[in-house]
Chain A
Amino acid sequence: MQFIVEDAETHLNIKVTEPRIDAAIATLFKDKLREIVVKNRKPVHLDMALVDFMDSSGLGAMIAVRKSLPENLALVLCALTPNVERVFRLTRMDSVFDIRPHPAQKEPL
């Protein structure tokens, strides 16, 4: 499992390269991503453009990662594909996560 991590000073840009976040890899996904976000202690922008499919176990993994971040650090989800967006919307988790259409550019200081 690979994440492309880029430190943008104000936050961390993480690109998910797995095409599917499903029951086969949800636990590994959660553990790896949690390790990255906990270690860096910065707001996270997660680029989901390459993820074609996510099921409820994948959603559970995303929620676990969200909960592992301290309250004041944001987890922004960028560029959700339609199948992934559907799961967030139907479960009302789109009200919990900060969801944005495109990968955020580096923010000016």
Chain B
Amino acid sequence: MTPTRRSDPGLGNRLSAQTQPMFHRILNAHPITVRDTLQDVRHRFRSEVSEDTLGRLELVLAEVMNNVAEHAPICDDPQLMGAGRLPVIHLSIVRHNSGLTCALTDDGVSLPEECLLPRSLPPLLPDDLPEGGFGWFLIQDLTQALCYYREGSRNYLAFCIPFAQS
């Protein structure tokens, strides 16, 4: 940056006000790739947001992306075992004044409607504790402005992780 540009306070202020840290990645929906991506997200934002916010972000992203991986279309053709195509996830995260806004799209199976309906925890029966059914509860509990639509062969999911938990 030249001294001339630096001395222009209008431009400088406007740039700093508009520039927010972002993260964008295209990844295969596989648990190991998801894990690597989460570690890169953590690295990207760890000097920007609190450890508490980062922990909530990481948990929600893990739940969303591992759901895509877990519900990848099953390939019945034994010839293609292991070579079947994994869904591809596009992940974008932008820091805003009040939180981290996330947008994810994937070309996996359509999201069942009940995932987005208000959820409660699975019943905690002492004799028969549930071993699953927590993922979408956690996503709903930790996000704001959660919205979903499907267009063509892709799922679109967006939400915000607030800095201060309400």
Contacts and interface: CB of A to CB of B under 8 A. Distances in A.
Interface of A: 20, 22-24, 53, 55-57, 59-61, 63-64, 66-67, 82-83, 86-87, 90-93, 95-96
Nearest to A97: B129
A57 B129 contact: no
A50 to B, nearest CB: 16
Contact of B58 (A53, A57, A59, A60): A53
A24 B129 contact: no
Contacts of A64: 131
The 10 closest A-B pairs by CB, nearest first: A24-B31, A23-B66, A56-B134, A60-B131, A83-B55, A23-B31, A55-B62, A56-B135, A63-B131, A91-B134
Given A20-B35, A83-B55, A86-B55, A59 B66 contact: no
Given A23-B34, A57-B132, A86-B59, 4 more contacts: A22-B31, A57-B66, A61-B131, A64-B131
Contacts of A86: 55-56, 59
Contacts of A60: 131-132, 134
Interface residues of B, number: 29
A85 to B, nearest CB: 10
Contact of B59 (A24, A66, A83, A93): A83
A55 B59 contact: yes
Interface string B105-148: 00000000000000001001010011110110110011000000
Given A56-B138, A82-B51, A86-B59, A22 B66 contact: yes
A91 B137 contact: yes
Given A24-B31, A82-B52, A82-B55, A92 B121 contact: yes
Q: Count chain B CB atoms within 10 A of each CB in A57, A64, A92, A96 and give the residue with the most.
A: A57
5 contacts: A22-B62, A23-B62, A55-B62, A60-B132, A86-B59
Contacts of A63: 129-131
A64 B134 CA distance: 14
B63 A56 contact: yes
Contacts of B132: 56-57, 60
